[in-house]
Amino acid sequence: MARQTSHVIVPQDRPGAVKPVRPRDPVASGERDAAFNRAASHHYFLLEKFVAGVALRGTEVKSIREGKANLKDSYGLIKDGEAFLLNVHIGPYSHGNISNHDETRTRKLLLHHEEIRKLLIKTQIKGNTLIPVRLFFRNGRVKCELAVAKGKQDWDKRETERSREADRDARSAINANKHRMGR
């Protein structure tokens, strides 16, 4: 004789039914940058870009996912055949404890030796430096886009602003002409 149970077992409509999945955070999925250095293109000519991994602690990754990273005034440095990221501010993790990370500690960049050698050669040229442009996620790992940059003078900044304004005026004139022709 079968054993009696106190609950009723209801068969499911379909085996292996999938629950509706909540949309993933755009920063964590890599659709949106975790941090962007807006001042980099204003203060520097960005000559060449490289992508590097960043050696981080767990609370730092969680803080970056929360959007608490700031690349302003940060720069890269190559020393003893290793690349480092300095002055990157990653705020404390909101659910962290006493062992939360130091906000502006020096972080190691993960690059191949050949890439480090290329960066070393390019940064030894007078006036060139290494600037982080953005932090983003790729396959769940934090990546940093670095640019070999040359500093702009004040007149360079004014010239860039003038050309940007001229482009904006030209675009608005084209759009106004399109609207006029369509009516």
CATH class of segment(s) 35-152: mainly beta
CA–CA distance, 99 with 109 (Å, rounded to integer): 22
pLDDT in tens, 156-173: 778 888 888 888 988 888
Write out the H or E segment, with its range, that includes residue 63.
helix 58-65
Instruction: Spell out the domain ranges in the chain.
Output: 35-152, 153-183
pTM: 0.71
pLDDT in tens, 60-105: 888 888 888 899 889 999 999 999 999 999 888 888 787 788 888 8
By DSSP bridging, strand 128-138 and strand 35-36 are antiparallel
CA–CA distance, 45 with 39 (Å, rounded to integer): 11
| CA-based R_g, the chain, Å | 25
CB-CB contact of 93 with 66 (8 Å): yes
